[in-house]
Amino acid sequence: MQRIENYVTMDFLSRSNNEGFMRVAAAGFAAQLDPTLDELGDIKTAVSEAVTNAIVHAYPDSIGRIQVKMKLLESNTLEIVVRDWGRGIANIEQARQPLFTTGGEERSGMGFTIMESFMDVLRIKSAPDKGTTVVMRKRISRRTKR
């Protein structure tokens, strides 16, 4: 278990305009680790995908609660946990397959694939009608001082 250096927890409603806010909040929090612009972009994209999944899939016909916990762990690692209490995922392995979606024709079905490609760790826990928790970790490269 890695020691927690700093953390923040945010609760918000599953409204689409909160996705952009969480992108900025995650970038601001991650900035403590002095990430490169590419690393920051990866974090923002992964958070955007996780929050959008919760908004679109967990609460397709209603507004619900989403919680994001961000932790700075020792060894320059950022952990982001996105949790909802929505409809859950019946088959996680199927949901992780590229192009699989329950969100209709306008959804790409690439959310988990994108999160996995931009983060070092992606874990998903879900139960039907109980919600989903997505855990992502990314180790930030230490840069030499200029």
CA 54 from chain centre, in angstroms, equals 9
In DSSP terms, 81 is beta-bridged to 69, 135
Identity of residue 143: R
- The residue annotated as part of the active site, out of 49, 79, 83, 87, is 49
- To the query of whether residue 91 is one of the catalytic residues in this protein, the response is no
* Active-site annotation holds for 65: no
The DSSP code for 32 is G
Is 123 a known active-site residue?
A: no
- In the set 19, 53, 79, 83, the catalytic residue is 53
Active-site residue, from 23, 65, 96, 107: 107
CA dist., res. 87 & res. 73, Å (int): 31
**Which residue type occupies 131?**
G
Locate the DSSP E strands across the chain: 4-13, 65-73, 77-84, 121-127, 131-139
Backbone angles phi, psi at 4, to 5 degrees: -85, 125
**Residue numbers annotated as active site:** 49, 53, 107
